[in-house]
């Protein structure tokens, strides 16, 4: 047996080729990895872990629900109580689309030590719906005609307020004065003077107040805090937040229930402090469309975006606010605007600077909204050294003219078009989101967060924190300080729209700067 030189060349010729390809692939991967870890090491961003909440020991906390509409039902589910109708609907949805996980998510949610003891809804159908599903041998539930009756019954320790906006503060104040814990939906209040009053009452009450900005539990927002704190994107001079919706549900055209009538709805109770008008189903079910009961884009949706950023930056109340807008997409008799642009000025705020001292200071927060287009404009924080896109995911791009990253950009290790950091806690979990409005909230990190890769309803975490603090003491994420800042900032935006002028905050006095001849509450709630 003899191998010629030709045999050796042709037989073993593939080996050097294999070596070359292997080496090239490995070298390129390893070099990329090294560059990446050098950048990450320099950024040193710590993805947050959920804060531990002490359990709710002892007897179950007795919770009363005030308002069992769309949000009231969602809050009950977050507390562990879903109606039979909803379960059936979700079961069918899951059958149709296996990615629809609402029911299995609900079933796998941790159980809270809660007794849903009372329901208060002025629409008989809704109150009965709650009783039908929740009044069981394990969970005795009682209907109360009014919230005053429920608060004074001695049968509830805590109330969840999910009513139209004009009832938030009166109910919260009444409960806190009776030392009943309060979870109130946003916006915390409906006008300026009750915002001051609720702050004073909450500070003097033994009970715990939590405002329903559940995104404070979202892990990506807690990680964003670390990013800003470490100066990763430098001095932030502009923030852009947006509402982009283009569907009837998103424009608050909710369904009108066929059972609604003056016999089944306590109309006087609904009106409360609002102007007395005859029974009107449109107003009852679509109350967000009128200043008398709702707060328009400024209180309804800006409040979310404002608090998302206040939670990351802790920037507080703006020195001044200018707003413009109009009713351009839904001219259906509503009196709240459906297109709104809000500019909030923070001339003294800074997130830190990589440039000479004193060069950078001040920031504008822009909120831009339309209910006539659904193109997803992301939330963007624009800093001298980089740009942060904030949502359920985080992405950071370096800026081409950054001082901090100048060397790395010049040497080609960073590229302004390529993100230097991406945080996607749910990367391996495909999401099933039902409607356009849900997708809108989900993208903003307002619906759920991810813990160890599993999807968790952030409202559940927010309620759990409130209940745990009620029982064990401690501090809630969105207490009266945060709620006060959110409410005042939203009202400043609404007032500026109404009055067509700049509204200013006086930080020394802790109140809005007066404008001669203007009653702020009257101006804010006026039909137009």
Partner 1 sequence: MVLLRLFIGWHFLYEGIIKLYNPDWTSFGYLASAQGPFRSFFIWMTGDSIIGVADWGNMIALVFVGLTLLLGIFEKWGAIVAALLLALYYLAHPSFPWVAQVNVEGSYWFVNKNLIELVACLVIYQIPTSHYFGLQRLFHKKETLSQAN
| Strand (E) or helix (H) holding 505 | strand 503-506
Question: In the set 5, 13, 154, 278, which binds partner 1 (CB under 8 A)?
Answer: 13
| Strand (E) or helix (H) holding 199 | helix 192-204
Q: Is 418 in the site for partner 1 (CB under 8 A)?
A: no
# residues near partner 1 by CB under 8 A: 24
- Rounded to 5 degrees, what are φ and ψ at 120? -135, 110
Q: Is 10 in the site for partner 1 (CB under 8 A)?
A: yes
Q: Is 33 in the site for partner 1 (CB under 8 A)?
A: yes
- Rounded to 5 degrees, what are φ and ψ at 422? -140, 135
Between residues 456 and 493, which has the closer beta carbon with respect to partner 1?
A: 456
Window contacting partner 1 (CB under 8 A); options: 11-19, 51-59, 132-140, 483-491:
11-19
Degrees to nearest 5, angle at CA 225 with 222 and 230: 135
Enumerate residues 467-486 that contact partner 1 by CB under 8 A: none
List of residues 6+ apart from 242 with CB closer than 8 A = 305, 367, 368, 369, 377, 378, 379
Between residues 17 and 52, which has the closer beta carbon with respect to partner 1?
A: 17
- Rounded to 5 degrees, what are φ and ψ at 222? -70, -35
Window contacting partner 1 (CB under 8 A); options: 10-18, 102-110, 157-165, 408-416:
10-18
Between residues 20 and 92, which has the closer beta carbon with respect to partner 1?
A: 20
Q: Is 95 in the site for partner 1 (CB under 8 A)?
A: no
Between residues 14 and 473, which has the closer beta carbon with respect to partner 1?
A: 14
Residues 428-467 vs partner 1: string with x where CB under 8 A?
A: x-x-------------------------------------
Nearest to 384 by CA among 408, 406, 417: 406
Between residues 33 and 132, which has the closer beta carbon with respect to partner 1?
A: 33
Between residues 3 and 154, which has the closer beta carbon with respect to partner 1?
A: 3
CB of 441 to partner 1, least distance (A): 22
**Chain-centre distance of CA 424, in angstroms?**
18
Between residues 2 and 276, which has the closer beta carbon with respect to partner 1?
A: 2
Between residues 29 and 314, which has the closer beta carbon with respect to partner 1?
A: 29
446-450 long-range contacts, CB within 8 A, separation 24+: 446/214, 446/215, 446/218, 446/304, 446/308, 448/218, 448/392, 449/50, 449/217, 449/218, 449/219, 449/220, 449/392, 449/425, 450/219, 450/425, 450/426
Between residues 20 and 526, which has the closer beta carbon with respect to partner 1?
A: 20
Q: Is 25 in the site for partner 1 (CB under 8 A)?
A: yes
Question: In the set 15, 52, 418, 528, which binds partner 1 (CB under 8 A)?
Answer: 15
What is d(CA 466, CA 480) in angstroms, rounded to the nearest whole number?
Answer: 13
Window contacting partner 1 (CB under 8 A); options: 4-12, 210-218, 444-452, 520-528:
4-12
List of residues 6+ apart from 367 with CB closer than 8 A = 241, 242, 243, 302, 305, 306, 340, 341, 342, 344, 493
Q: DSSP E strands: which ranges in 263-393?
A: 320-326, 339-346, 363-370, 379-383, 386-390
Between residues 22 and 328, which has the closer beta carbon with respect to partner 1?
A: 22
Question: In the set 38, 203, 427, 434, which binds partner 1 (CB under 8 A)?
Answer: 427
Window contacting partner 1 (CB under 8 A); options: 24-32, 84-92, 171-179, 467-475:
24-32
Other residues' Cβ atoms within 10 Å of the Cβ of residue 360: 19
Q: Is 24 in the site for partner 1 (CB under 8 A)?
A: yes
Q: Is 22 in the site for partner 1 (CB under 8 A)?
A: yes
Q: Where along the sequence are the contacts to partner 1 (CB under 8 A)?
A: 1, 3, 7, 10-15, 17-18, 21-22, 24-26, 28-30, 32-33, 427-428, 430
């Amino acid at each position: 047996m003899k191998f010629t030189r030709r045999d050796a060349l042709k037989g073993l010729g593939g080996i050097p080729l294999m070596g070359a390809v292997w080496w090239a692939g490995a070298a390129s991967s390893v070099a990329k990895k090294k560059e990446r870890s050098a950048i990450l090491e320099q950024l040193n961003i710590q993805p947050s872990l959920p804060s531990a909440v002490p359990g709710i020991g002892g007897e179950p906390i007795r919770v009363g629900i005030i308002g069992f509409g769309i949000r009231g039902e969602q809050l009950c589910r977050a507390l562990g109580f879903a109606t039979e109708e909803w379960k059936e609907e979700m079961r069918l949805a899951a059958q149709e689309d296996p990615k629809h996980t609402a029911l299995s998510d609900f079933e796998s949610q941790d159980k809270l030590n809660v007794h849903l003891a009372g329901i208060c809804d002025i629409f008989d159908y809704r109150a009965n719906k709650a009783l039908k599903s929740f009044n069981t041998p394990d969970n005795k539930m009682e209907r109360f005609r009014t919230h005053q009756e429920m608060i004074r019954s001695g049968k509830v320790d805590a109330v969840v307020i999910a009513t139209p906006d004009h009832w938030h503060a009166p109910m919260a104040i009444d409960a806190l004065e009776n030392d009943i814990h309060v979870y109130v939906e946003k916006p915390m209040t409906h006008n300026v003077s009750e915002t001051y009053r609720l702050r004073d009452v909450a500070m003097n009450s033994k009970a715990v107040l939590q405002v329903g900005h559940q995104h404070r539990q979202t892990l990506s927002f807690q990680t964003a805090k670390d990013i800003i704190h470490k100066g990763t994107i430098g001095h932030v001079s502009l923030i852009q937040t947006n509402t982009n919706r283009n569907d009837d549900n998103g424009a608050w055209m909710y369904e009108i229930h066929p059972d609604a009538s003056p016999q089944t709805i306590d109309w006087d109770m609904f009106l409360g402090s609002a102007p007395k008008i005859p029974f009107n189903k449109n107003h009852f079910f679509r109350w967000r469309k009128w200043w008398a009961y709702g707060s328009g884009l400024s209180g309804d949706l800006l409040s979310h975006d404002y608090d998302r950023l206040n939670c990351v930056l802790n920037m507080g109340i703006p020195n001044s606010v200018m707003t413009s807008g109009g009713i351009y997409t839904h001219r259906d008799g509503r009196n709240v605007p459906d297109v709104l642009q809000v500019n909030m000025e923070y001339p003294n705020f800074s997130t830190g600077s990589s440039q000479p001292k004193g060069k950078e200071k001040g920031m504008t927060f822009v909120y831009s909204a339309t209910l006539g287009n659904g193109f997803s404009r992301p939330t963007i924080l624009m800093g001298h050294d980089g740009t942060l896109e904030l949502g359920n995911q985080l992405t950071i791009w370096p800026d081409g003219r950054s001082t901090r990253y100048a060397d790395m950009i010049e040497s080609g290790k960073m590229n302004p078009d390529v993100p230097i950091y991406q945080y996607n806690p749910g990367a391996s979990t495909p999401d099933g989101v039902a409607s356009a409005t849900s997708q809108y909230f989900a993208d903003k990190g307002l619906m759920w967060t991810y813990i160890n890769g599993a999807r968790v309803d952030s409202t559940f975490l927010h309620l759990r924190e409130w209940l745990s603090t009620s029982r064990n003491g401690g501090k809630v994420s969105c207490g009266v300080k945060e709620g006060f800042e959110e409410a005042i900032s939203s009202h400043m935006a609404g007032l500026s729209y109404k009055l067509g002028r700049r509204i200013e905050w006086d930080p020394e006095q802790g109140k809005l700067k007066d404008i001669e001849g203007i009653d702020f509450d009257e101006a804010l709630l006026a039909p137009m």
